[in-house]
Structure 1
Amino acid sequence: MWVVNQPDPRARRRDEAAESGGFAELSSSPFRADRDRLVASPFFARLGGVTQVVSAGGSALLHNRLTHSLKVAQVARSIAERIATGDPHGGHTDTAELVGKLGGCDPDVAEAAALGHDLGHPPFGHLGEQVLDRIARHRYGLADGFEGNAQTFRIVTTTEVGGPTPRGLNLTAAVRASLLKYPWARLHRPRPHPSELAVVPRGAAEPAQAPGTGSAKFSAYSTELDELAASRAPFADKVEYWQQTVEASVMDLADDIAYAIHDLQDFHRIGVLQHAEVATELGQWLARRGELAELPDERLEDQHRRPGRSLEHLRRRLHAKDSWITSDDAFADAVARVRAELVDELLGIPFDGSVEAEQATATFSARWTARLVGGVVVTAAPSPRTGHVTLLPAQWHEVQVLKFVHRRFVLLRPDLALHQRGQASLLATLVDALDAWLTDRDEAARLPRRLHDLVELAHAEYRGLAAADPELLVGATGEPVRGADAVRSLARGRAVIDFVASLTDKQAAAMLDAISGRSAQPWSEPSVL
């Protein structure tokens, strides 16, 4: 077992005393041990039952959050090892020296971050995230709302109880920091808040449709601010307070690469991604790019269903948000490459389960993964819109176009929206039912034990915040929280959200059936997270 009290601050754990208490590890490396702790967590196992894009329903053809995380880990480790052995776009000595100055890049840390990055995703993936955020803010008055990245950090530092300490997994500072994709809270911390910077980091701006709610993306709730500060302390003189660590940047980029490639494979396999409509959109933009560039914004918006218009909207959006790298020529080259290799080669032959179809899909994945990983660069002074580990312009534009195809021809489909509206209703109804149970004095004693424990935990947390730093409990323009009842209400809300977020898709549906009387059998799940 690794000996505690190591001098390396990156390897420091929150509770070093607990590490001498006989908790067995399979590895003497603290970072490898963290990777093992994450993989052994039931929160990691549950990802096999959580939607990636659409509910897999047991199909081996669709990724779930677990298989997605495994592929992100594969890409992240490959990137980290390339960085560790010398970046081909710089030089071994220069890259190694730069990465050292930025705080280091250990492949075990990058892999651990990739394996753990989606632990906080609730049932039904991003759809569930949006539903729980609205409920948390509007029903319970939780200024933090809900965010999958912040929930991940809360799990590994607070609500996971299967590790060597009663709270969290007691991970090293390096691994905790690597999970902070957006190293700030929704509102108040750190100061100045990244949303106030001249160039706002990606994710730090508030959503246009929800003014006054704080950053759209963030990685820590107010209850975990001390953990955020402790995790980032070893990097205080290495990277800016709002920047990702190098290992977090590797994880973030690997997530983008895996998402851009593997989700397209899924929907080709099940026949959703159709050759004709994708070919028409990309082909029309390539043929008429000059004409489309002259269209006023309002006409482009009115005619968005016409071929080529959606892609032109993406080009303009990239210029507005990412002018630091966006190039019209690189964008056109990316569209042409995606059309040739995705549309003409992969989608040109319908997937029928044959050896030829399987090999074409595997070739597409391998070729694009190698190309994108081969475009990785480490930069000393990146734009606030990206991390220290990023892509060359050609590959960066290609990722944007691949993600566009997924969004335009999968995520915006009306049949998917119909499916997701039902899932949103399921989650909202389940929260209502659990909340009613919590406030029923006659039945409160028979609460699921895990929910009871989460209420006790949250009550202690919010009572402490109300006493020490009450501003953290309110939104940008909200009223201060006063009185024991208000604090208990916040705690109840956070506990219910924590509980529902810890379920798989099937657990959420089965629990609602049971609690609403639609199931003929008692709900028999032996335990929930």
Structure 2
Amino acid sequence: MTHPVDPRARRLFGGSATAYGDLAGSPFRADRDRIVSSPFFSRLGGVTQVISPGGSGLLVHNRLTHSLKVAQVGRAIAERLAADDRYRDLLDKLGGCDPDVVEAAALAHDLGHPPFGHLGEQVLDRLARQRLGLPDGFEGNAQSYRIVTSTEIRGTATIGLDLTAAVRAAILKYPWTRHDHPDPHPRDLDPAPRGATPPPDDPTSGSLKFGAYTTEVDDLRQARAPFAGRIADWQQTVEASIMDTADDIAYAIHDLEDFHRVGVLQQGAVAGELMGWQREATTLRELPDGALDTGGRRPGAAIERLRRRLHRRDSWISDDDAFAAAVEHVRVELVDGLLAAPFDGSLAAEQYVTGFSARWTRRLVDAIEVVAEPSMRSGHVLLHAAQWHEVQVLKFVHHRFVLERPDLALHQRGQARLLATLVEALVAWILDPGEETRLPRRLHDLVELAEAELMPPGAADGAGRGSGPDRMARARGRAVIDFVAALTDGQAVALLDALSGRSRQLWTDAFVL
């Protein structure tokens, strides 16, 4: 007698059968193993988190170590919530909370991250939409979902990793497409969920953040089917909400470790900003927005802009007393603690960094709660108000004192030009009629995949998405974006060097294309 498959364990291509190579008995644990075994996971070791791993050796996080830490934090949160009697009934009502599902989703959430961190994401999105005519553009989260459902090519079948519905749903931080799904689209809600609004410089381009391309919308629907009637169409599953919160925690804490290790964060600059706001908070609050924006380098002005931005965007949780307390706590821990002495590589310095990270992680993980009716701007799993404000201040330090640095901008402008040139070179290669048989095999396979996606089975020529020539151009464009997005930082540099004739390597030494 066969038993019905648990809807949460149903795989993309039906049933729940194990695949060759699966060692775990649990389908969700098997998903975790499939993700870790994927070459897309391995490549994350060569992809920038914030500071390029090529420039600082093993001192800084890359996308692989970041993903491992998100998985560690996410699993800890899931285990605590699942064991808490206060939340058991609510978690079951919302669709479940399995630590294996959270861990697998955390490991997969950055699979689609392109070379050079978030900069690469922005460049590929612009090129995809404006140069290659792809309405969906590029988005790292949607690319991750595409990888686990389609572009992980195995033999003659293109089936992705064939993950369970629960894990695929947990990967979806933003469970909507850029333009059309679900209907009504979450960008039209008031307030819109976090990430759903269009970018201010291109209001007709659809949501800034989204979890799946149009080509994967049926896969998204199947993944979300077990949660229908339990959570809103635009809302994260509990397991996705845990993964998203864990990502925030890891991002806020572990990136600060990196900046301290490489000497980017200076105690005086951070202290001046935080303490300047504390001294002048009353005066700064009375300034109109225009005067604050023209305040230039006035200490405290930037963090006052943060306070106002939180009030505008997140009035559901933003609180002035909690914000002031968060500034003070970060000042004590970061300025008087971590940054009090430069990192010198000694055992004592390593121990201090480890203690700082462990203390903050414990503080934030212990401040997690589950709510039945969250704000439109929040998931069902969230931090207490005090710790939510602390994370915002930590992320502010990251943005203000690292991402806004001119020396980082110098490197990023070069990386942006590199990616744009690489995309153009690959498009020209595909269009060269004399080179069709010499294209990199993976690029050739990706073109065929994109053609099949844009030409539904059984459709007559011209009956697919767009005319024949237009469909072919889009298929080639999507293939190039998929190909470039799957490179490491180093591979992107080396490939462009070879295509530009600058490489001194023998052709037999080149990496496999």
1:513 aligns with 2:497: yes
Q: What do residues 506-525 of structure 1 show as CA deviations (whole Å, max 9, x unaligned)? A: 11111111111111224544
Match for residue 136 of structure 1?
Answer: 128
- Choose the corresponding residue for 2:23, options 1, 22, 26: 26
Match for residue 454 of structure 1?
Answer: 446
1:174 aligns with 2:159: no
User: In the aligned structure 2, how far is the partner of 1:31 from the partner of 1:304?
Assistant: 51
User: In the aligned structure 2, how far is the partner of 1:456 from the partner of 1:401?
Assistant: 47
User: In the aligned structure 1, how far is the partner of 2:357 from the partner of 2:156?
Assistant: 39
Tell me whether 264-273 or 55-64 shows the greater mean CA deviation: 55-64
Identity level (%): 64
User: In the aligned structure 2, how far is the partner of 1:211 from the partner of 1:465?
Assistant: 34
Q: CA deviation at 1:349?
A: 1.0
1:61 aligns with 2:62: no
User: In the aligned structure 2, how far is the partner of 1:74 from the partner of 1:53?
Assistant: 20
User: Which ranges of structure 1 fall in alignment gaps of 5 or more residues?
Assistant: 87-91, 474-480
Assess, with a 3 A threshold, how the Cα gap between structure 1 residues 433 and 235 changes in structure 2: closer, same or farther. same
Match for residue 410 of structure 2?
Answer: 418
Paired residues of 1:372 and 1:391 also in contact (CA < 8 A): yes
Q: What do residues 409-455 of structure 1 show as CA deviations (whole Å, max 9, x unaligned)? A: 00110000000000111111110100000000011210000000000
Paired residues of 2:454 and 2:464 also in contact (CA < 8 A): no
User: In the aligned structure 2, how far is the partner of 1:40 from the partner of 1:162?
Assistant: 13
User: In the aligned structure 2, how far is the partner of 1:165 from the partner of 1:75?
Assistant: 35
Write the mapping of 1:332-347 to structure 2, written as runs, cut at 5 A: 332-347=324-339
Match for residue 489 of structure 1?
Answer: 473
Q: Secondary structure at the match of 2:17?
A: helix
Paired residues of 1:188 and 1:472 also in contact (CA < 8 A): no
Q: CA deviation at 1:131?
A: 0.4
Write the mapping of 1:315-354 to structure 2, written as runs, cut at 5 A: 315-354=307-346
Q: CA deviation at 1:297?
A: 0.3
* TM-score, normalised relative to structure 1: 0.93
Q: Secondary structure at the match of 2:456?
A: helix
User: In the aligned structure 2, how far is the partner of 1:133 from the partner of 1:56?
Assistant: 23
Q: What do residues 48-85 of structure 1 show as CA deviations (whole Å, max 9, x unaligned)? A: 00000021116111100000000000000000000110
Match for residue 121 of structure 1?
Answer: 113
Q: CA deviation at 1:359?
A: 1.4
Q: Secondary structure at the match of 2:337?
A: helix
* TM-score, normalised relative to structure 2: 0.96
Paired residues of 2:128 and 2:477 also in contact (CA < 8 A): yes
Q: What do residues 258-294 of structure 1 show as CA deviations (whole Å, max 9, x unaligned)? A: 0000000101011000000000000000111111000
Q: CA deviation at 1:465?
A: 10
User: In the aligned structure 2, how far is the partner of 1:289 from the partner of 1:17?
Assistant: 60
Q: CA deviation at 1:8?
A: 1.2
Q: Secondary structure at the match of 2:205?
A: coil
Q: Secondary structure at the match of 2:382?
A: strand
User: In the aligned structure 2, how far is the partner of 1:317 from the partner of 1:226?
Assistant: 36
Equivalent residue letter for 1:519? S
User: In the aligned structure 2, how far is the partner of 1:199 from the partner of 1:334?
Assistant: 25
1:211 aligns with 2:196: no
Write the mapping of 1:41-440 to structure 2, written as runs, cut at 5 A: 41-57=38-54, 59-86=57-84, 92=85, 94-162=86-154, 166-440=158-432
Q: What do residues 230-276 of structure 1 show as CA deviations (whole Å, max 9, x unaligned)? A: 00000011110000000000000000000000000101011000000
Equivalent residue letter for 2:140? G
Match for residue 512 of structure 2?
Answer: 527
Q: Secondary structure at the match of 2:53?
A: coil
Q: CA deviation at 1:16?
A: 3.6
User: In the aligned structure 2, how far is the partner of 1:284 from the partner of 1:141?
Assistant: 48
Paired residues of 1:23 and 1:164 also in contact (CA < 8 A): no
Q: Secondary structure at the match of 1:226?
A: helix
Q: Secondary structure at the match of 1:336?
A: helix
Q: Secondary structure at the match of 2:158?
A: coil
Q: Secondary structure at the match of 1:25?
A: coil
Q: Secondary structure at the match of 1:19?
A: coil
Equivalent residue letter for 1:23? Y
Equivalent residue letter for 1:344? D
Q: CA deviation at 1:526?
A: 4.7
Q: CA deviation at 1:24?
A: 3.1
Q: CA deviation at 1:178?
A: 0.4
User: In the aligned structure 2, how far is the partner of 1:472 from the partner of 1:202?
Assistant: 33
Q: CA deviation at 1:189?
A: 1.3
Paired residues of 2:152 and 2:159 also in contact (CA < 8 A): yes
User: In the aligned structure 1, how far is the partner of 2:72 from the partner of 2:212?
Assistant: 26
User: In the aligned structure 2, how far is the partner of 1:496 from the partner of 1:319?
Assistant: 41
User: In the aligned structure 1, how far is the partner of 2:312 from the partner of 2:297?
Assistant: 22
Tell me whether 272-281 or 7-16 shows the greater mean CA deviation: 7-16
Q: Secondary structure at the match of 1:152?
A: helix
Runs of 4+ aligned residues of structure 1 deviating over 6 Å after TM superposition are: 465-468, 470-473
Q: CA deviation at 1:467?
A: 6.5
Match for residue 476 of structure 1?
Answer: none
Equivalent residue letter for 1:461? E
Equivalent residue letter for 1:36? D
User: In the aligned structure 2, how far is the partner of 1:466 from the partner of 1:377?
Assistant: 50
Q: CA deviation at 1:498?
A: 0.2
Q: What do residues 134-156 of structure 1 show as CA deviations (whole Å, max 9, x unaligned)? A: 00000111110000000000000
Q: CA deviation at 1:385?
A: 0.6
Assess, with a 3 A threshold, how the Cα gap between structure 1 residues 249 and 53 changes in structure 2: closer, same or farther. same
User: In the aligned structure 2, how far is the partner of 1:327 from the partner of 1:120?
Assistant: 36
Equivalent residue letter for 1:520? R
Paired residues of 1:378 and 1:388 also in contact (CA < 8 A): yes
Tell me whether 297-306 or 423-432 shows the greater mean CA deviation: 297-306
User: In the aligned structure 2, how far is the partner of 1:163 from the partner of 1:376?
Assistant: 43
User: In the aligned structure 1, how far is the partner of 2:154 from the partner of 2:197?
Assistant: 35
User: In the aligned structure 1, how far is the partner of 2:101 from the partner of 2:329?
Assistant: 33
Q: What do residues 174-199 of structure 1 show as CA deviations (whole Å, max 9, x unaligned)? A: 00000000000000111000001122
Equivalent residue letter for 1:232? R
Aligned residue pairs: how many? Answer: 510
Q: What do residues 457-482 of structure 1 show as CA deviations (whole Å, max 9, x unaligned)? A: 101111239979x9996xxxxxxx4x
Match for residue 89 of structure 1?
Answer: none
Assess, with a 3 A threshold, how the Cα gap between structure 1 residues 181 and 255 changes in structure 2: closer, same or farther. same
Equivalent residue letter for 2:11? R
Paired residues of 1:158 and 1:168 also in contact (CA < 8 A): yes
Equivalent residue letter for 2:481? I
User: In the aligned structure 1, how far is the partner of 2:77 from the partner of 2:8?
Assistant: 20
